[in-house]
Amino acid sequence: MLGILNIDKPQGITSHDVVNRVRRSLGTRRVGHAGTLDPLATGALVVAVGPATRFLQYLPLEPKVYEFTVQFGVETNSQDSEGEVVAEKPVPSDLQTQILDRMPHFAGEVLQIPPMFSAVKREGKPLYQLARQGVEVERESRTVYIEEFTLVKVEGATGKFRCACSGGTYVRTLAHDLGQMIGCGGHVTELRRTAVGRFRVEDAIALEDVSLDHLMPLAEALSPMPMIPLSGELAGDVWNGKRVGVRPVPEEKYVALQDPKGRVISVAEVVVGGFLQPTCVIPQEALNGEL
């Protein structure tokens, strides 16, 4: 049992809750996800099952695309509607103009300070645990990349937006920082992830519909990574942890290696000399259903 699921996460549960439900549905403990979604958020959540969990880092998971709503004039301690209100300020009458004037500041590389209500760790402890104790600590800013930031519409004190960004971007913080720059504050009230790289929410399945029939093979999930078919002998070398040589030498940094049956058995790095060094390998027993 191995493959990738694209699940439309419902509101009100954590990404880890989704993993637990998939474990129960498929009867396996080996399940992991790529890219946490807050309980408030809905949308595309990529989940790996079985040995496919080893390959999450190689999936095409960027950019991440979101549609979200911001309530201006109200700040919360979590930067979304699940937190407590900490400040209220008048919203400018020309809100749309103010938004459009300041949005260019949030294009390209942007520095963000992770919110206290986040899974970022401080001395081994997630920040949200400290936040729930009423403790706030200094956090280092981090660079994220905003590929697209679009205002869809403004209705009263509410703005609807679309954003395409790098992994690690906090949309809550993007909304908070925009509100701060305008001077009235703001927080996210709705958040939906519509795409994670090539995994789109319109192709996602509902959590209650998860089954083995929906598992996406690695050969499909890793696309557009090049696929290199191997002979039985070379596949055996890969299973034994050996590097292999092929011609022509791929130009990409990483390639997927397939056994004679067309099954992905490894992702390999192209190293000096044109060899392919396996970086993760699926045991032959797992492919044959013995694990």
pLDDT, one tens digit per residue, over 44-97 is: 999 999 999 999 999 999 999 999 999 999 999 999 999 999 999 999 999 999
Quick one: pLDDT at residue 127? 64
Q: Which residue, among 28, 29, 40, has the nearest Cα to 71 in the 3D structure? A: 40
Using 50, 70 and 90 to split pLDDT, how confident is the model at 131? Answer: low
pLDDT exceeds cutoff 50 at 232 = yes
Alpha carbon 246 to its chain centroid, in Å, reads: 33
CATH topology of domain 64-196: Pseudouridine synthase (3.30.2350)
- Going by C-alpha positions, the residue among 230, 261, 265 that lies closest to residue 247 is 230
The residues that are catalytic are: 38
Confidence at residue 250, expressed as pLDDT on a 0 to 100 scale: 82
The CATH number of 225-287 is 2.30.130.10
Q: What is the pTM for the complete model shown?
A: 0.90
Topology of domain 3-56+198-219 in CATH is: Pseudouridine synthase (3.30.2350)
Domain with CATH 3.30.2350.10 in the chain: 3-56+198-219, 64-196
Residue-level pLDDT at 290: 44
**Locate tokens 């081994």: which residue?**
124
